[in-house]
Amino acid sequence: MKEKISIRLFDGFEIRRGDTPILKNLSNTRKTKLFVAYLLVNRDRPITHQELFELLWSGEDYANPATALRTLLYRFRSMIDSEGADALAGAIISHRGTYQWNRDLDVSIDALDFHALAEAGLDPTISESRRKDYLAKAIDMYSGPLLPDFSSEPWLIAKSASYRDTYIEAVMAYIDILKADNQPAKIVQVCEKALELAGTSELLELEVQIAKLAIADPDAPAKDSVIAYYNEVRELSVKLQDEADRMQAELQVDVMEQQAYLCDYSTFKDLYNVQRRIQSRSKATIFLGLVYIRYDESENADPLYGEKTMKDVLSCCQRMLRLGDAICRKSDSEIAIMFPAESYEDAVGVLERLKASAKERVAEDIVVVYRVRPLKSGRE
């Protein structure tokens, strides 16, 4: 009988066959490890080559992204073959410019198992005894933040926070059941572990305080005032959570397009100054590009030739740039763009590709001149 393959994403990244860690070399190649981890966390959807390339080589100039990705896939499959981990042979599916983790693969993934158990435990329609069992298993399964080796990756921060919130919600629901069963000692144990794993939580700290008072003296007068304060904080926390959800829904616009953000110059100016402030506190380098387009209208009978040319160039640049970059028409003949890059040379490479694409797709006879420079931070 083949041993079960399990994958740990909480408090690390480890693949096991039974009780034995396998594919240890995955940790020696950061990009391959990140490639596999990203597909695992986003296993419910196919990931385009472009999305993966921007994740793995953001800001870098690379001639052939598809080949680079195939190299990572080859490395992962070679590790599988070398260790005879046949259960992982079809782990990553390649199809029409996308990669996806095989959802039908017979492997256990701790984060997914945790989420399924927590959801079941939070379901009010099932019996309390079953809910208690599911919640206890879910809480025991959560062992720390999601993929801590990649904690600074922007895509992971929200997902890790979501798992943490689910964990806290499961803990609070479990505590309510323990209260009904009059188990203050167990409450202290569960809360202290949760505070260790998930960090500060006033509600959990109050639960510990109330439970310890109940253990020391169930009739202590101080307990009533702490409980009253706890109830107030919990009620306000629920209301604030609902309000935060509504606010985020109001603010958030669905990002359907996979290209640069096109705006007017006034909005571009606001974005520029926001980026200056952000850059003061981050390691990212943002570049400002100014592109001048010259075209000859004298030999064209169309009175709107110049306007159409600028719109075509603007559209071409917008498609070439990445999601998260910003672009605007600054004047009749100028386009301003804002984008991150690893170095000045990479930033120049971006503008060179835009220039070549505009001449190829719009008109060969247009003259494209550009200047590029890094943003000055808010401290400069």
Rounded to an integer, what distance in angstroms lies between the CA atom of residue 100 and that of residue 337? Answer: 33
- Percentage of residues in the chain with pLDDT exceeding 70? 93
Q: Is the pLDDT of residue 281 over 70?
A: yes
pTM value?
A: 0.77
Average confidence (pLDDT) over 7-33: 91
Q: Are 204 and 174 in contact (CB under 8 A)?
A: no
* 121 and 236 belong to one structural domain: yes
Which position has the higher pLDDT, 164 or 61?
164
* 155 and 172 belong to one structural domain: yes
Q: What pLDDT digit, counting tens, does each position of 41-94 carry?
A: 999 999 988 889 888 887 565 556 778 899 999 999 999 998 888 889 899 999
Among 230, 251, 272, which residue terminates a domain?
Answer: 251
Q: Is the pLDDT of residue 139 over 60?
A: yes
pLDDT for position 14: 94
* 285 and 243 belong to one structural domain: no
* 132 and 200 belong to one structural domain: yes
pLDDT for position 1: 53
pLDDT for position 177: 97
For the CA atoms of the chain, what is the radius of gyration? 27
* 48 and 178 belong to one structural domain: no
pLDDT for position 305: 76
Rounded to an integer, what distance in angstroms lies between the CA atom of residue 34 and that of residue 36? Answer: 5
pLDDT for position 6: 94
Q: What is the DSSP letter of 183?
A: -
Which amino acid type is present at position 281?
R
**Which of 107, 109, 230, 114 lies closest to 162 in space, CA to CA?**
114
The DSSP result for 274-325, as a single string, is HHHHHHTTSS--EEEEEEEEE---TT---TTHHHHHHHHHHHHHHHHSPBTB
* 137 and 227 belong to one structural domain: yes
* 81 and 123 belong to one structural domain: no
Q: Is the pLDDT of residue 312 over 60?
A: yes
Quick one: pLDDT band at residue 269, thresholds 50, 70, 90?
Answer: very high
Give me the phi and psi of 143, to 5 degrees please: -120, 10
CATH number of the domain within which 307 lies: 3.30.70.270
Report the number of distinct structural domains present in the chain.
3
What is the distance between the terminal CA atoms of the chain, rounded to a whole angstrom?
65
Domain of 326 in residue numbering reads as 261-374
* 336 and 284 belong to one structural domain: yes
**Assigned domain for 379 exists:** no
**Which of 147, 146, 138 lies closest to 115 in space, CA to CA?**
138
Among 107, 123, 152, which residue terminates a domain?
Answer: 107
Q: What pLDDT digit, counting tens, does each position of 205-251 carry?
A: 999 999 998 898 877 776 788 889 999 999 998 899 889 889 888 88
Quick one: pLDDT band at residue 33, thresholds 50, 70, 90?
Answer: very high
**Assigned domain for 256 exists:** no
pLDDT for position 342: 78
Q: What is the pairing mode between strands 286-294 and 20-22?
A: unpaired
* 52 and 118 belong to one structural domain: no
Average of per-residue pLDDT values in the chain: 88
Give me the phi and psi of 156, to 5 degrees please: -90, -25
* 168 and 212 belong to one structural domain: yes
